[in-house]
Amino acid sequence: MLGFHNENNRCSFCGRPGGEKRPLVAGGPNNELRICSQCVEACEQYLIGLENESSLTPIDLSDVSSPKEFKEYLDQYVVGQDYAKKVLSVAVYNHYKRMAAQKSGSLPDFEADGEDKVKIEKSNVLLIGPTGSGKTLLAKTLAQKLNVPFAIADATTLTEAGYVGEDVENVLLKLINAADGNVQAAERGIIFIDEIDKIGRKSENTSITRDVSGEGVQQALLKIIEGTVASVPPQGGRKHPNQEMIEIDTTNILFILGGAFVGIDKIIEQRIAGKTMGFGGNIGTMDESQKMELLNQCTPDDLVKFGLIPEIIGRMPITVALKELTKADLTRILTEPKNSIIKQLKASFALDDLDLEFTPDALEEIADIAIKQKTGARGLRSICEKLLMDLMYEAPSIKGKKKFTVTKDIVLSGKLPSPETLLIGSKVTA
């Protein structure tokens, strides 16, 4: 029987009486039990929580891929950057190995009294490399391999609490949202913070004025990067009194920070100028491998001179430089990765019965344009889509099988043949 309104009936769970505004549902062998709508809702939320918790696979060392397996997986999606992939693979493996060992209590004890076991601190990563060199893609692909929540944040949008802009805690909200609200899953995820170099201090000297988007943000980030229980507003935005908060422990969240750090090579060169450089000249005459060797000699002092605070550098023990992508790299990026741009475009046009091809010299010319625009791999998609816009517009209107080949001349002119000559008949090649 449903909808009891008798004042003598009380909810068997909370004890509150039934009424017009609190109908009771009867149950049990003899309909002797009652439950109110509030308790029904509470039970539903509890069961949803259990379902989410049970869907999480506990981190087990046997489930964590080896560094070699991580590297092999990254090779399928990211072209080049072999050293960076190796360093990241080791860092991620060690991070999740540490979590697995802590969970199982299998950390070794080297002390005679046996009271305190070794505590392994997490190793966050700092990526230094030009725009479009693959920093975001590397972090995203690792999260994909691990099947953990992943969030990207832009450091330039962050400000100290109370100032116009995003609070640092909103970075954690993005991770919680990526985990579909499951805080436990978010607590073992990965956060990538880009443009970290843009929030450097204006000078090494401490300023007497407030630097709310530079040093102040670094100080605010420091707390969540090293590990704390943070309170996050569920709807984002600013915190205010009496607002319900989501609590999340950041101890096991892996932070990967990235930035171009334009000019840090000059800082490194100045530091080692009095020593034997072994590069055979200044930065302007170095080849790509020599520049990489120089950037990989970056020390904490170099980063402090650039504008990062010492405390945040101390929480980023692993620093790796990514090389600027060459024409050959960009050409490979167009075709080789598992989800390369050309493969995606071919699949998209195939849905309209159009067989799309690119000549090798056309791919090289597209790579050349990306280098001239200084956009790296990030600009390749927009170049291709702009080039093929007319084809995307016309192809769906023409029935039957079609074929089109993109040549170097088409890329150079930036124009496709007119629709009349482009898609007439059963086979068309330009």
| Separation between Cα atoms, residue 185 and residue 50, nearest integer Å | 13
List the binding residues for ATP.
Answer: 130-137
Strand blocks (E) in 278-351: 318-321
Signed CA dihedral, 8, 9, 11, 17: sign only = negative
CA–CA distance, 165 with 169 (Å, rounded to integer): 12
Encoded tokens for 112: 């005679």
SS3 193: strand
* Length, in residues, of the chain: 430
Instruction: Provide the strand spans (E) within 271-364.
Output: 318-321, 354-358
**Residues contacting residue 52 through CB under 8 Å, at least 6 positions apart:** 180, 181, 182, 184, 185
Check if the beta carbon of residue 395 is closer than 8 Å to that of residue 402: yes
Alpha carbon distance 188, 253 (integer Å): 5
Nearest residue to 215 (alpha-carbon basis) of 306, 333, 89 = 306
Q: Do 150 and 171 meet the contact criterion of CB atoms below 8 Å apart? A: no
d(CA 358, CA 373): 21
Distance CA 26, CA 299 (A): 70
Binding residues: 11, 14, 36, 39, 130-137
Q: Which residues are part of a known binding site for Zn(2+)?
A: 11, 14, 36, 39
**Long-range Cβ contact pairs of 353-357 (< 8 A, separation 24 or more):** 353/399, 353/400, 353/401, 353/402, 354/391, 354/395, 354/401, 354/402, 354/403, 354/404, 355/401, 355/402, 355/403, 355/404, 356/388, 356/391, 356/403, 356/404, 356/405, 356/406, 357/403, 357/404, 357/405, 357/406
